[in-house]
């Protein structure tokens, strides 16, 4: 079993995506705890307001964490856009590394198709319609990132209908190309889908690698990732064997 090597003074903030809660990031948080990180799950009402208002609710938590010590951030989907908006004018001295999972940095063609439907708007809220690909849209107004960032994209779509509106490899919600953003230090594509990528052992291992070293490990195999994550979960007291995470 690998021994945790990170001091508890290093914290990881985990920010969920649209129409999700912090529960979706729990497995990832538990694995990072097994590596010695202090973790903090951030909850916000993703379907109740626009990105600007949501970021105002989230930024104080980020600022207070950075004041306490070195703080890394891991986001899923719209959580990455929330972070970019939060940091557009901020210079945080203790901000560590950031990993974004499936971020729609270039927007989503799926949003373009669905945003005019009342049911979609009702379920996903005002922030969802800000995630389209329009050249005059919200995302185009965000500056390039100026913090140490690694991006992980997925290329498995679980919905064949959604897949028909996505140009090129995609995770069912966001194309691989649209996850990219100017200023990022690293980009990696993993064979996984959008909705559950944060629970994929290979994704979890790659998140840990970037937080630790500032680089991904593109040659890491899935079986090795399962063993790593199992060890970390056992170390954190959240699993008894490798079988506990296979599901």
The pLDDT tens digits for 173-230 are 999 999 999 999 999 999 999 999 999 999 999 999 999 999 999 999 999 999 999 9
User: Does any domain span residue 54?
Assistant: yes
Q: pLDDT digit string (tens) for 79-106? A: 999 999 999 877 788 899 999 999 999 9
Per the structure, the complete domain to which residue 79 belongs is given by: 11-240
Q: What backbone torsions phi and psi does residue 122 show, to the nearest 5 degrees? A: -65, -40
Q: Is the pLDDT of residue 1 over 70?
A: no
Report pLDDT for 128.
93
- Fill in the DSSP letter of residue 198: G
CB of 43 closer than 8 Å to CB of 244 = no
Of the candidates 185, 218, 205, which has an alpha carbon nearest to the alpha carbon of residue 245?
Answer: 205
Q: Which of 59-68, 124-133, 210-219 has the highest mean pLDDT?
A: 210-219
User: Does any domain span residue 6?
Assistant: no
Radius of gyration of the chain (CA): 17
- Fill in the DSSP letter of residue 129: G
CATH number of the domain to which 120 belongs: 3.40.50.1820
Report pLDDT for 163.
81
Q: pLDDT digit string (tens) for 10-43? A: 999 999 999 999 999 999 999 999 999 999 999 9
Report pLDDT for 159.
85
Of the candidates 95, 198, 108, which has an alpha carbon nearest to the alpha carbon of residue 152?
Answer: 198
User: Does any domain span residue 3?
Assistant: no
In the chain, alpha helices (H): 26-33, 51-68, 78-87, 109-114, 118-128, 160-163, 201-213, 222-235, 243-246
User: Does any domain span residue 247?
Assistant: no
User: Does any domain span residue 160?
Assistant: yes
* Residues contacting 108, CB < 8 A, separation 6+: 131, 132, 133, 173, 174, 175, 178
Q: Which residues pair with 12 in a beta bridge?
A: 39, 72
* Residues contacting 56, CB < 8 A, separation 6+: none
Dihedral (Cα; 97, 100, 104, 106), 10-degree rounding: 40
- Collapsed DSSP state (helix, strand, coil) of residue 30: helix
Residue 170 in tokens: 């995609």
Report pLDDT for 39.
95
User: Does any domain span residue 118?
Assistant: yes
CB of 225 closer than 8 Å to CB of 216 = no
Report pLDDT for 93.
84
C-alpha–C-alpha distance, residues 68 and 70, integer Å: 7
| Torsion-angle region of 49 (φ positive above 0: left; ψ -120 to 50: alpha; else: beta) | beta
Residue 142 in tokens: 């965000």
Residue 84 in tokens: 């970019």
User: Does any domain span residue 4?
Assistant: no
C-alpha–C-alpha distance, residues 22 and 2, integer Å: 27
**β-pairing, 149-154 with 11-15?**
unpaired
Report pLDDT for 243.
54
The number of distinct structural domains making up the chain is: 1
User: Does any domain span residue 153?
Assistant: yes
CB of 41 closer than 8 Å to CB of 15 = no
Report pLDDT for 225.
96
């Amino acid at each position: 079993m690998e021994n945790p090597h990170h001091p508890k003074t290093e914290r990881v903030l985990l920010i969920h995506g649209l129409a999700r809660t912090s529960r979706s990031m729990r497995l990832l948080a538990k694995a990072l705890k097994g590596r010695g990180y202090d973790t903090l799950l951030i909850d916000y009402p993703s379907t109740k307001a626009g990105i600007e208002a949501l970021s105002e609710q989230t930024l104080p938590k980020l600022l207070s964490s950075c004041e306490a010590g070195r703080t890394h951030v891991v986001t899923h989907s719209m959580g990455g856009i929330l972070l970019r908006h939060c940091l557009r004018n901020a210079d945080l001295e203790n901000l560590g590394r950031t990993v974004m999972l499936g971020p729609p940095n270039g927007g989503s063609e799926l949003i373009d198709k669905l945003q005019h439907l009342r049911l979609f708007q009702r379920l996903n809220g005002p922030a969802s319609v800000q995630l389209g690909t329009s050249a005059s849209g919200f995302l185009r107004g965000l500056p390039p990132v100026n913090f140490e960032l690694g991006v992980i994209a997925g290329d498995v779509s679980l919905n064949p209908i959604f897949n028909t509106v996505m140009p090129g490899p995609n995770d069912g919600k966001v194309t691989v190309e649209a996850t990219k953003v100017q200023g990022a230090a690293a980009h990696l594509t993993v064979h996984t889908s959008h909705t559950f990528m944060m629970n994929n052992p290979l994704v979890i291992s790659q998140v840990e690698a970037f937080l630790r070293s500032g680089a991904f490990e593109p040659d890491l195999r899935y079986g090795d990732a399962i063993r790593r994550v199992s060890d970390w979960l056992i170390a954190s007291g959240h699993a008894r064997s490798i079988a506990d995470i296979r599901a």
